[in-house]
């Protein structure tokens, strides 16, 4: 369902009930701006991100980008840092 921002302001209670069954897109100047959705949908969307610990996210990143990380480390071992000679002190 799509509504204007003015309609959303005037019918907020009814749109909250509607959002329990389907998301409601609020438009400003004809452009989608905000989405009203049920709290259950919000929890479902945010739960995976909140449940992953930083260590688990780091392991997943390292596993996904292992080849790139290995290539960067090999380049560093062979050539050093590009700005090693520049020191501020």
Q: Structure pTM?
A: 0.53
pLDDT tens for the chain, 89 residues long, are 899 999 999 999 999 999 999 999 999 999 999 999 999 999 888 876 656 688 888 899 999 999 999 999 999 888 887 777 776 66
Using H for helix, E for strand and C for coil, what is the string for the chain? Answer: CEEEHHHHHHCHHHHHHHHCCCCEEEEECCEEEEEECCHHHHHHHHHHHHHCCHHHHHHHHHHHCHHHHHHHHHHHHHHCCCCCCCCCC
* Per-residue model confidence (pLDDT) at position 89: 64
């Amino acid at each position: 369902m799509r509504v204007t921002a003015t309609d959303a302001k005037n019918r907020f209670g009814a749109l909250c009930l509607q959002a329990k069954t389907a998301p409601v897109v609020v438009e400003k100047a004809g452009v989608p701006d905000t989405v009203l959705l049920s709290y259950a949908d919000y929890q479902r969307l945010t739960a995976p991100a909140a449940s992953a610990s930083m260590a688990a996210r780091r392991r997943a990143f390292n596993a996904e980008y292992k080849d790139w990380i290995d290539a960067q480390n090999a380049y560093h071992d062979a050539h050093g840092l590009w700005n090693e000679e520049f020191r501020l002190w």
